[in-house]
A and B are shown apart, each in its own frame.
Chain A
Amino acid sequence: MDVFGSFALILAFVCAAYAIVGGIAAIFTRHPLLIKSARQAGLATCALIFLATGSLVYLFFSDNFSIAYVVAHSNRDLATFYKIAALWSGQEGSLLFWSFLLSIYVFSVLIAYRNKNGELMPYVGVVMASVQIFFLTLNNFVASPFKVLGVSAANGTFDLVARSDGNGLTPLLQYPEMVIHPPNLYSGYTGFTIPFAFALAALLARYPGEKWIHLTRKWTMIAWCFQSCGILLGAHWAYAVLGWGGYWAWDPVENASLLPWLTGTAFLHSVMMQEKRGMMKVWNVWLVFITFMLCILGTMLTRSGVVSSVHAFAQSSIGSWFVGFLAIIFIVCFAAYMYNRDYLKSENQLDSVVSRESSFLFNNLVLLVSCIAVISGTLFPVFSEWLSGSRISVGTPFFNKVNIPLGLLLLFLTGVGPLLAWRKTSLDSLKRNFGWPALTGLLAGAVAFAFGLHHFYALVCLILCVFVTCTIGMEFFRGARVIRARSGATFVASAVDLTMRNTRRYGGYIVHMGMVLIFVGLAGAAFNRDAQKEMQLGSTLDIGPYKLLLQSFDQKAERNYTAERMIVEVLRDNKPLMMLYPERRFFQTNEQSGTMVAIYSTLREDLYVVYAGQSPETQLPVMHAYLNPLVKCIWLGGAVVVLGTLVALLPNRRAVLVLSGAEQPATVQRLTHALSPSVTVREGHD
């Protein structure tokens, strides 16, 4: 099966090379057979990558310990569930997984547009195949996952060997979320290839219009949604597995995942300027280019080990390949832009500073500044070492100090932006739209202050959260009220109807509500508490309203690990509430340990209990407990963001025209004809 997988990868490389060469030839000659053959080569590339990935998965499931990658990342007793996760747990497999996910996107695009956009697709095909061939180069010649184990014999031959068992999967990855977090994050990274391919193709083909944006809107949103899910699942994994009581440590790999998300979010907003007003075409093209480059940079940071990270399970010297690829992407994008920039002239100009356009400009500014600040903070240790010879660490306190004010500014714009009118907003409109929300926010802040909320950022965050919630609520309320007055339906049904009539706009609002919830959760971190104690049987640890009573301390043996476990009774106001079982696992195969945190989670707060090992002096078990307020809001917010994105992806429900019998067909045809351009103009988040 390893030979089959290797052969499939080599063939995929050849097919991708043909898709590029054939595609370029097709662009110049416009020969239908060439166009078709390049497209088929693209499809064959994807199919072969699917087969290669399937082969590696099969090797894991069949416990084939003659393959170096399987030996390094699996063992016989590893649960079937985690044998899937082993696919992306190391360098070689994760790069193949990148190729696999990219192929799903490429395959979908090639199938979805097989009979459409005939002039543009050869360009798109060439760009997508070029990205694929880079990863196939790594899969085949730099980090092949199908290397076999062997020893050199005295006579110069190479004898294959097979181990009886593997080293097992890193304990940190033996957690259910690890089976879904990397695929989500990678789907985000790879997904941005599609808008990138269309943007570059449209520029190369000298398409001045907004067509590439219409064509890629859904792909961009899908990629963005996966990226958001991936980031939040990663945060939850860090929270539940690493056992330090937090969910975001500004680790270089975490930062790497955040960067394309920030620029992708900026793109999703600024793209509306192009759709509505024909503005910011150059900016949008470059935002997509930058987002894609950041996806590659993110992959490089994760894989190369250029910056030290807790995600140290996949480091190597592969970075130079990525640097080279990034340089090529930049040169190609820059050249394409310089040659064809005249086709990206804006059609309209700005009428007023107080307008939706301005708010989007500032939204993009804040997102970009945050992105650049995170990049420079992440890479500062490398630069400081390069410039002065000593490495200066940049940790959580720096990133928090820089990004919290920017985040709050962004939250403010989240409330302001959607309520400003396109072109120009009058003073009356400003008063009408912002008066009550601003007043309610300030009132909520005053009440919170009176009740003892004196933390500056938390207070500002609360005021802004209330403000944004009110602005969004008012938007739904006003729209639903009109529909209700006409249809007589209930308010909830009217709100649903309103959402379905303009899914993009109201889906966007739901996403904003999700972000508000996430901000509420993040603000809760200002009030985190923790306590640590060496525990004897029957002793207690007090934290907040909880009393943690150590009832027992035992050991258990499972198939793949042994564990030391605390059995803890949680009491609230001296009344028994529940039992918690924090434990520490020891995996025999790779002689590594892992924490299993016990969490009692409510909407108000999380009681987070860690068994922190035995004290070296007293040999007593040490309990570390955290009380983290409002953490659940972050995960709920994530779910709302996904819901909003799904709503925004749905097609708008069309209004039904009710006309009298005889004149109906002709009138409907005439009206449809008359309405379609304006419907096109009005489509989307406005």
Chain B
Amino acid sequence: MTNPYRKCKVSLVIGMLVLSAALLLLFSLRASAQQTDRAKQVGGKFMCMCSCSQVLTQCNHVGCTTSASMLKEVDQAVARGDSEEKITQAFVLEFGTKVYAEPPKSGLSLLAWMLPGVYLLTGTVLVVFVIARWRKRNVFLAAAPGPSATSGVSAELLARARAQAARDTED
């Protein structure tokens, strides 16, 4: 006759073991998923060196042998637990600065990042300046009506040219 308590104990142990195994599997899957995600994120920071001008993780063009080996290198480095900086240094050493998917934010490359901001800022200042100038001139014109003194062409000549253009052209 079997002891019911013993049976219960065995079931409990088996249950614990199964649960532990499941948890272990879950954690390892999660760690592997995290590792894959990290490899994807790191791989997204490099260009494929097969001259396709595509980001490494996006290069899937037919016949590309380079992306597969580069991705493998990334996977191995991530699995080793290498930092992003270390992986980047290794890739730059191997392929040169053209391996960067985006310019690094230092040295000459910093210029690439700064330029769009400089354009926007300069453009905004210019637009604001133009608007302010137009508004000022508007006040000036309202105060002193008559032919414009700023133009090298007289208002009369301008009107004549406008009439000539209207005669010469038709829609």
Interface of A with B (CB < 8 Å)? 116-120, 171, 202, 205-209, 211-212, 214-215, 242-246, 249, 251-252, 308-310, 312, 342-343, 345-346, 349-351, 353, 358, 361-362, 365, 368-369, 372-373, 376-377, 380-381, 384, 387-388, 390-398, 401-402, 406, 584, 592-595, 610, 612-613, 616, 624
Contact = CB atoms under 8 A, between A and B. Distances in A.
B86 interface: no
Contacts of A624: 60
Interface of B: 44-45, 47, 51-55, 58-63, 68, 96-104, 108-109, 112-113, 115-116, 119-120, 123-124, 126-127, 130-131, 134-135, 137-138, 141, 148, 150-153, 158, 161-162, 164-166, 168-171
A209 B165 contact: yes
Contact of B168 (A120, A342, A358, A376): A120
B166 A211 contact: yes
Contacts of B99: 393
Contacts of B120: 365, 369, 406
B171 A395 contact: no
A398 B102 contact: yes
Contact of B53 (A171, A252, A376): A252
A117 B63 CA distance: 57
A59 B116 CA distance: 48
Contacts of B108: 384, 387-388, 392
A552 B55 CA distance: 32
8 contacts: A211-B169, A245-B60, A351-B138, A369-B119, A376-B115, A392-B98, A393-B100, A406-B120
Contacts of A592: 62-63
B168 A349 contact: no
Given A350-B138, A393-B100, A610-B60, A117 B119 contact: no
Contact of A345 (B101, B109, B151): B151
A39 to B, nearest CB: 16
Contacts of A613: 62
Nearest to B120: A369
Contacts of A251: 53-54
A594 B135 contact: no
Contact of B103 (A211, A373, A398, A595): A398
Contact of A361 (B63, B127, B162): B127
Contacts of A406: 116, 120
Contact of B112 (A215, A246, A353, A398): A398
A391 B53 contact: no
Given A252-B53, A342-B153, A394-B112, A208 B62 contact: no
B63 A593 contact: yes
A310 B47 CA distance: 13
A242 B127 contact: no
Given A310-B54, A350-B131, A358-B131, A397 B169 contact: no
B54 A208 contact: no
A89 to B, nearest CB: 17
The 7 closest A-B pairs by CB, nearest first: A119-B168, A349-B138, A207-B165, A350-B134, A395-B101, A342-B153, A373-B116
A214 B138 contact: no
Given A358-B131, A361-B130, A398-B112, A243 B97 contact: no
A391 B47 contact: no
